[in-house]
Structure 1
């Protein structure tokens, strides 16, 4: 038996409050095939789409207590989880893996002027980052130094995903402006 659209939120709340397996089974039966079809239309191969759908439903089971029916419908919430899981995997896969360097017998040591240049650039970056807001510094630290996906940053900071992306973009624009050759040394 498939519940009406207005009852999906109640099923999620049943999963959250009492770990109701029957409620979860109804959610899974209804949403899993729809998630798979949606993800396949978005370009995922059938096997991967099924994995993403199952992963999304497992997240529904684990995080049902985070569902807020005042912010989104159950379907929107579940489809967003599936989409974000897929995007996280695509981002991880698109990052270039580091190529191991092959040590050559006659490898040149680092030149002193290169080392000095690297130190100067790091100093300029530190100085430029002092002109960012604490919120911008925090999202940059989480994104680039700790290599967290945007969705994880949003979860950690309890912010909407769009706010995280906006802070990162604004911080990068400001850093780029401050570090352009015409403005180097002009941090006022």
Structure 2
């Protein structure tokens, strides 16, 4: 392209978007020091400002095709990238490191033998209670809790009015509560 010093920033960015390395070198010469100074004025260390300036100019090289001169001046676009990179750096540094001792990172304790036995007994009682429901109640209950269908989806699936689906589920809960006892039913059922 020859001497690029007489090209404006918008023209240089258009050439960079086409992969012109000499246009990028000219743009780099115009902005590397200015971007670094801009970042340092915002309170960033010299070392971090060097890193951010490099990242900004690499981004300019990679994303020059996204620059729209109708939306902003080339300098505004470049300095907006710099500001965003600085914010990203601050966020990375202020985010606390995860604590490996945090209970959220700990596996659930293995259930005791008594807990396993109790869960098996409850499951057996729930299955027996389900078998004693009418087939209509059992169908809607299985569709809701095993298949994860909404009441509306169940109504469409079985070609039933929505109120009928809700009534059957409510009746099934009532029968299971009576069968299992209030405490056990409350642990597994909710209206």
> TM-score, length-normalised on structure 2?
0.50
Aligned position for 2:9: 8
The CA distance in 2 between the partners of 1:83 and 1:102, in whole Å, is: 34
Structural mapping, 1:28-177, within 5 Å: 28-101=28-101
Structure 1 stretches of 5 or more lacking a match? 104-108, 110-188
Which structure has the larger Rg over C-alpha atoms? 2
Supply the distance in 2 between the matched residues of 1:50 and 1:36 (Cα, whole angstroms): 6
Separation of aligned partners in 2, 1:79 and 1:99: 36
Task: Summarize the Cα distance change of 1:71–1:102 in structure 2 as closer, same or farther, 3 Å threshold.
Answer: closer
Distance in 2 between residues matched to 1:52 and 1:76, nearest whole Å: 16
Aligned-partner Cα distance in 2 for 1:69–1:85: 21
Once the 2 structures are TM-superposed, how far is the Cα of residue 10 of structure 1 from its aligned partner?
A: 0.7
CA RMSD of aligned residues (A): 2.5
Unaligned regions of 5+ residues in structure 2, if any? Answer: 104-108, 110-191
Cα separation, partners in 2 of 1:102 and 1:49, compared to 1, 3 Å? closer
Contact kept, 8 Å, 2:52 with 2:85, in 1: the verdict is yes
Contact 2:4 2:23 in 1 (8 A): no
Residue by residue over 1:66-107, the C-alpha shift from the partner in whole angstroms, topping out at 9 and shown as x without a partner, is 00000000000001101101101211211111111189xxxx
Large movers: runs of 4+ above 4 Å: none
Aligned mates of 2:5, 2:56 — CA distance in 1 = 20
TM-score by length of 1: 0.51
The answer to whether the 8 Å contact 2:16/2:61 transfers is yes
Q: Is the 8 A contact 1:2 1:30 kept in 2?
A: no
